[in-house]
Structure 1
Amino acid sequence: MEIKVFPLGPLQTNCYVLAGDKEAVAIDPGGDPTPVLDYLKSNGLTLTHVLNTHLHFDHTAGNRRLSDETGAPVICSKKDLYLLESELGQGGTFGLPPIEEYNTTQIEPGEHEFAGFKCTVFHTPGHSSGSLTFYFPEAEAAFVGDLIFYRSIGRTDFPGGDLDILKKAVKDNIFTLPDNTTLYPGHGPETTSDDEKNHNPFFSEF
């Protein structure tokens, strides 16, 4: 698996593309997906899925175009669909334009396969009610959205957010992963499960 990162949109959301020999999956296209489409074309890759860790607009702005141009379904949690009825999901807030509407396919936590890669999907709420983490054990990689960052955590003051629930989700699902698991967040640099378990100030009591 090759992992490429494309910071997209006005908030520079990390869009990740996981590529195999012929197929790929994209995670959280938060802006104009032209760089992603160019990468897929130049490498002869077929996009099989667009995965959303959660449905805040800065993670979904490129969903419609990326799905339309590749035929890949947009995957999310049904517990985040409430966001599609709000500015947090539709955009148009903070002086930013609204995003294009898109269709979704909802999945449940558990074992899945995307682009030929085995993936365990965890329900990791706290930043939003339906936030998901996509863990690819073969790549020792977890895509955590805005759940946890390098030395920080996601905001919990939006509708559906809850600090205690977020911290429990991290402890139960992220800190129990193998220590060398790379965490790929929605914004900023990557980190590891072990590094955050030992150094993230929000879990100093852990």
Structure 2
Amino acid sequence: MAGLTVETFVLGPDETNCYLLSRNGKGVVVDVGLDPARLIERISECGLELEGVYLTHFHLDHMGGVKELLASHPAPVFSSGGDEFLKEISLEAGGIREFVAYVDFPYESIGPGRRTALGQTMVVLDTPGHTPGSLSYFFPAAGCVFVGDLLFMIAVGRTDLPRGSGPELLGSIRSRIFILPDETRIYSGHGPMTTVTHEKRNNPHFL
């Protein structure tokens, strides 16, 4: 994958996929679930310089371990400001109000467009539906995209949480993910890796 190494860490009680991407002694992380000790240990073991942490959305199972990670490996955090409202909503209602201490860290709000990560082009995709601020991160040279809880192998993300939208989610998949090259690997927030062509052919939500 164009010199890019991707390692998966399944973290926390919700078994959230956290991804460590590395190249030439540097690393970035996509999402950080609770209890990230194994991730932290791996970054130290490999001697990686952490360039940044990219969050797909503001649910606790995808960002609850960020503060712990930053305490060992300081780095800028990037996410969409569109999910900031979740800090004001109780966990019972789908927010993170009771756990704001876990997510009280500075971050840069980013939107769609091209950035550089690990010396490669990374395209930030606006993919709302699971949450209004959901983002996906596409690495064209490596042929992979990190989608959070937007899309899973033969399934899609839930939309019954605050400001989720089924039509918006399906539209994001069609207009942002299914236009990528068919061989693109899809790394989801939970479960196994899949590909664009596999989901086009087999995902029941699009047949």
- TM-score between both structures, scaled by the size of structure 2: 0.92
Match of 2:57 in 1: 54
- TM-score between both structures, scaled by the size of structure 1: 0.93
Task: Quickly say closer, same or farther: Cα 1:66–1:91, change in 2 above 3 A.
Answer: farther
Match of 1:193 in 2: 196
Paired with 1:70 and 1:138, the residues of 2 have a C-alpha distance of 26
Compute the displacement of 1:102 (Å): 2.0
Compute the displacement of 1:69 (Å): 2.1
Paired with 1:12 and 1:130, the residues of 2 have a C-alpha distance of 22
Match of 2:67 in 1: 64
Q: Name the count of aligned residue pairs.
A: 201
1:90 paired to 2:83: no
Match of 1:42 in 2: 45
Match of 1:164 in 2: 167
Once superposed, which parts of structure 1, at least 4 consecutive aligned residues long, lie more than 6 Å away? none
Query: Per the alignment, in what secondary structure is the counterpart of residue 183 of structure 1?
Result: strand
Paired with 1:37 and 1:133, the residues of 2 have a C-alpha distance of 23
Matches within 5 A, 1:1-206: 1-86=4-89, 87=91, 88-90=94-96, 92=98, 99-204=102-207
Compute the displacement of 1:100 (Å): 4.7
Query: Per the alignment, in what secondary structure is the counterpart of residue 80 of structure 1?
Result: helix
Segments of structure 2 that go 5 or more residues without pairing to the other structure are: none
Paired with 2:129 and 2:19, the residues of 1 have a C-alpha distance of 22
The residue type equivalent to 2:85 in the other structure is Y
CA-based RMSD of the aligned residues comes to: 1.6
Contact 2:63 2:103 in 1 (8 A): no
Task: Quickly say closer, same or farther: Cα 1:195–1:91, change in 2 above 3 A.
Answer: farther
